[in-house]
Amino acid sequence: MTQNAETRLGKVALVTGAAHRIGAQIARCLHGQGMDIVLHYRGSEVAARTLAAELALSRPDSVLLHRADLNRCHEFPGLIERIRAFRGRLDVLVNNASGFYPTPFDDAGEEQWEDLMGSNLKGPFFLTKAAAPLLRAASGCVVNLVDIHAERPLKDYPIYSIAKAGNAMMVKALARELGPQVRVNGIAPGAVLWPEQTPDEGVKQEILARTALERAGTPMDIARALIFLVRDADYITGQIITVDGGRTLQQ
């Protein structure tokens, strides 16, 4: 059997927002499980190409790069056709890409609403819809990156919190819609990576003090939970695993 034929027997995962942070770690771990990876990115082309080159070192011709704005849902069929041409299948969809920035209530605008709802809710929904035929054919699975603030709203981030609450319900609703062929689950991270607008040290320590394990998590903590859902959780669907070091145990 040729190397190309062997590769085509392997599974394929699409990871959105895969260029850096949690998305990049998820892509590395899925690739380490032997999957070929479709790396989606929007603006981080240099980081995406760097990651693709890193993964290709261990297994050439195992990565497909795709740039897209997840607010432009009409472009999704083109992405799915690229995946079909790449390997002819899709086994895992990881809806990781997410907009995140403050929208204090008194200043919140419609443009911010459309942007945050687009990246956190509308985009993942319609991307899953576009991918559903390939996922059904492969008896695949979907994993959404949700957030602990889907249940406990983050002050000054009302639109983001509302969007993630919708994302959490999407996990449950699509588990019913896509079963029995496709499983749909979610992961809700806590203090894993600080946002780009890094809080000062005092705020960080206050957050960690309200976490049972009294420390921040890492992207690998999220990736391990995702590998479990993808590889080992054949009878789990419609569930959201909270990976927050016990943060949601406290007020």
List the CATH number of the domain containing 39: 3.40.50.720
- Which of 14, 137, 4 shows the shortest CA–CA distance to 64? 14
* C-alpha torsion 18→182→74→157, nearest 10: -60
- Angle in degrees, CA 231, 23, 200, rounded to 5: 130
Contact (Cβ atoms closer than 8 angstroms) between residue 49 and residue 26: no
Distance linking the first and last C-alpha atoms of the chain: 58
Task: Answer yes or no: is pLDDT of 77 > 90.
Answer: yes
Q: Provide, rounded to the nearest whole percent, the portion of the chain with pLDDT above 70.
A: 94
Contact (Cβ atoms closer than 8 angstroms) between residue 187 and residue 98: no
Confidence of residue 205 (pLDDT cuts 50, 70, 90): confident
Mean predicted confidence (pLDDT) in 117-125: 97
- The CA distance from 44 to 172, in Å, is 31
- Which of 107, 122, 194, 202 shows the shortest CA–CA distance to 163? 122
Indicate the number of domains in the chain: 1
Q: What is the pLDDT of residue 199?
A: 63
Q: What is the pLDDT of residue 204?
A: 76
Q: What is the pLDDT of residue 105?
A: 97
How buried is residue 108: exposed, middle or buried, by Cβ count under 10 Å (0-12/13-18/19+)?
middle
Domain span holding position 234: 3-249
Confidence of residue 132 (pLDDT cuts 50, 70, 90): very high
Q: Provide, rounded to the nearest whole percent, the portion of the chain with pLDDT above 90.
A: 82
- Which of 185, 189, 156, 160 shows the shortest CA–CA distance to 172? 185
**Side by side, which strands form the sheet with 141-145?**
63-67, 36-41, 12-15, 92-95, 141-145, 183-189, 240-243
The model's pTM: 0.93
Confidence of residue 201 (pLDDT cuts 50, 70, 90): confident
Task: Answer yes or no: is pLDDT of 32 > 90.
Answer: yes
Mean predicted confidence (pLDDT) in 51-76: 96
- Which of 139, 138, 7, 131 shows the shortest CA–CA distance to 66? 131
Q: Which residues are catalytic?
A: 160
- The CA distance from 243 to 133, in Å, is 30
Q: Of the given ranges (31-35, 84-88, 110-114, 190-194), which has the lowest mean pLDDT? A: 190-194
